[in-house]
Amino acid sequence: MTTTNPQTTPRRKAINRQAVRARTAKTPPQAPTLASMASQPGVDSCDICEDNMPGYVIGDLNPPDQSWLLGHTAKCNYCRNVLTGFERVDDLLERFGQSNSLPMPPLPPKLFKRSAAYTMIDSPVGPLYVAVSEKGVVDITFGQGLSENLFRETLQARGFKPIQDQKAASFVTRQLNEYFAGHRNDFDVPIDLSGVTPFTKSVLTATAHVPYGQVRSYQDIARTIGQPSATRAVGNSLNRNPIPVIIPCHRIVRSDHSLGGYGGGSDKKQILLKLEGASLL
Ligand SMILES: [Zn+2]
């Protein structure tokens, strides 16, 4: 039977610590690569790609990250479009930097090509901004405490030129009013999900199929889109739903039937579920 000699134990530990230190000195801890971040379960690779585009454009990415970003962009239409916008802006800034005496050139027409007509309605969940493009409903935003200017800025940030036009949006506001009065169970309007990542689009499409008055869990949606481990990414996508109420993200709750989050605040989620007579517990 061996016994530990109390005098040698501390020294052996000290030596081991040194060995560990020497090993870590040779290979310093590395930041995770974009490829490894994008392959984590529950991560939307387009989010990783988009977040790193500014770094790519200013030449700040290391070669493996750069080639991952370019590889993803080559396969993904959504990210290719976003990156084209970034590169165009970068090009403008560069030209501007070269000659400060020249006036700033106008923004390329593509960045503000499409207009969005918007109006505001009252509802049981407070004022709602409703915007439509030439393709369909493009935005519904809870207006409580949000100035019209800020709302216009969110449309501009999505590449739209905002135009106040109650009549243009009336085909949607009529149906919304019927829904809030309890006279309509589903919406029959075209929707425009441009500017939404393919992953989020698949989440929103699955959510749009959840019937009136029923609830599903984040996990149900993750399974429906064939990515059962992506529950968290599903939650993030629903939080960024540009067309709440019509795309009924309020019908997606936690697996234990507790409410879960809601972009507009959970009080509004509760009001909408109650309006539809959905029973949670
Ligand atoms: Zn992408």
Residues near ion ligand 1 (Cβ under 5 Å): 46, 49, 76, 78-79
For the chain, counts of helices (H) and of strands (E): 12, 6
Q: What is the mean predicted confidence (pLDDT) over 252-260?
A: 86
Q: What is the mean predicted confidence (pLDDT) over 35-52?
A: 90
Please tell me the distance between residue 274's alpha carbon and the centre of ligand 1 in angstroms. Answer: 37
Rounded Cα distance, 152 and 162, in Å: 6
Please tell me the distance between residue 38's alpha carbon and the centre of ligand 1 in angstroms. Answer: 10
Rounded Cα distance, 84 and 74, in Å: 12
CB contact at 8 A, 68 and 79: no
Other Cβ atoms less than 10 A from the Cβ of 186: the count is 11
Tell me the pLDDT band of 266, cut-offs 50, 70 and 90: confident
Q: Which domains does the chain have, with CATH numbers?
A: 42-98 (1.10.10), 113-193 (3.30.160.70), 196-281 (1.10.10.10)
The yes-or-no answer on residue 249 being catalytic is yes
pLDDT of residue 29: 60
The owner of tokens 């019209």 is 148
pLDDT of 12 strictly over 60: no
Please tell me the distance between residue 79's alpha carbon and the centre of ligand 1 in angstroms. Answer: 4
- The mean pLDDT of the chain is 82
Please indicate whether residue 25 or residue 114 has the higher confidence score (pLDDT): 114
pLDDT of residue 169: 95
Rounded Cα distance, 130 and 158, in Å: 15
Tell me: the pLDDT tens digits for 104-126?
445 444 444 689 999 999 999 99
- Which tokens is 222 given? 């993750």
Please tell me the distance between residue 206's alpha carbon and the centre of ligand 1 in angstroms. Answer: 19
Cα dihedral 60, 65, 71, 74 in deg (nearest 10): -30
Please tell me the distance between residue 48's alpha carbon and the centre of ligand 1 in angstroms. Answer: 8
pLDDT of residue 75: 85
Tell me the pLDDT band of 205, cut-offs 50, 70 and 90: very high
**Of the listed 46, 49, 79, 249, which one is catalytic?**
249
pLDDT of residue 79: 86
Q: Strand 128-132 vs strand 137-142: parallel, antiparallel, or unpaired?
A: antiparallel
CB contact at 8 A, 235 and 260: yes
Per the document, the length of the chain is 281
User: Phi and psi dihedrals of 30, rounded to 5?
Assistant: -105, 145
